[in-house]
Chain A
Amino acid sequence: MSLTDFFAMGGYGFYVWASYAMTVVLAAIEVVAVRTRFRAARTAQLDENAG
């Protein structure tokens, strides 16, 4: 199987890759968002400690 065949997915490439790509993008957004939220909460608490 060539790489071209792999990406073509027997003619269903658009449907398959749009499914996987959206999942990866949404998961990445959530991971970044949740880490940003935790860091912000932690920073706010450290400011509280200092102030």
Chain B
Amino acid sequence: MNSINWFRFASPASFFPVAGKLARWFAVLAVPLAAAGLWLGLVVAPTDAQQGDAYRIIFIHVPAAWMSMFIYLVMAAWCAVSLTLNARLSAMMAQALAPTGALFTLIALWTGALWGKPAWGTYWAWDARMTSELILLFLYLGYMALRHAIDDVRRADRASAVLALVGAVNVPIIYFSVQWWNTLHQGATVSLTAAPKMASIMLIALMLMTFAAWSYAIAVAMVRVRAIILERERRTSWAGPLAGAAR
């Protein structure tokens, strides 16, 4: 075989140093992206004609909401791999993503409430978009609670993977809720299929904040997966030298 052996990185031992490098690079990348996004979003972008400055919550709210859904799909995909191939590292990746996904979901809900008050006159409504996003938070918390409740890690991997996969049906419900139901929440401002309905400076700020959120999520998840690898593989012969070399 002269091709790259991808399965090499499917072993926790060889992925451990790779995850360390990724964590460092993406942590370094997140800072200038967030700084530029905040500068453009809070200072340079003009005040919105309809919403005044309250619209500036968008630069947190939309990236957080995108991340909350995207991380769930990535987590569910790792769960599918871990169930079908019975691969330890895939289960560890899913386990490492869940708290960060829950964090972004909480931020999306919190900023949504704070945007809802000035925009619609209410912090919360049992609207399809908001309710399904709240269910997403409960799915993340349920996934983590189920993992926590089962002592045998391999059984916890399987049980939580099934929960995550069943819950994945909620993600398209969140995404399309604004089209399927007559919601208080507005439709998509930015989509892949249509021209964005916003000024380009706002769009650039939004994209910078989105890439910052991506970099942050990768960095944090990679540090967490390293911790999980050490926690779960403590009794193995290769884990000892790894911990000694790791900073």
Contact surface of A with B, Cβ cutoff 8 Å: 6, 9-12, 15-16, 18-20, 22-23, 26-27, 30-31, 34-35, 37-38, 40-42, 44-46, 48-49
Given contacts A26-B106, A34-B227, contact A46 B220 (CB under 8 A): no
Q: Is the CB of B57 within 8 A of A19?
A: yes
Contact surface of B with A, Cβ cutoff 8 Å: 42-43, 47, 52-54, 56-57, 60-61, 64, 99-100, 103, 106-107, 110-111, 114-115, 117-118, 216, 220, 223-224, 226-228, 230-231, 234, 239-240, 242-244, 246
Q: Is the CB of B57 within 8 A of A45?
A: no
Q: Is the CB of A15 within 8 A of B57?
A: yes
Report the separation of the CA atoms of residues A40 and B226 in the bound assembly, to the nearest whole angstrom.
Answer: 11
Q: Is the CB of A16 within 8 A of B56?
A: yes
Please report the number of residue pairs spanning A and B whose Cβ atoms sit closer than 8 angstroms.
Answer: 93
A-B contact pairs, 12 of them (CB 8 A): A9-B54, A10-B53, A12-B53, A15-B117, A20-B60, A27-B103, A30-B99, A41-B243, A45-B242, A45-B243, A46-B243, A49-B243
Main secondary structure of the interface of B (DSSP, over half): helix
Enumerate chain A residues within 8 angstroms of B103, measured Cβ to Cβ.
26-27, 30
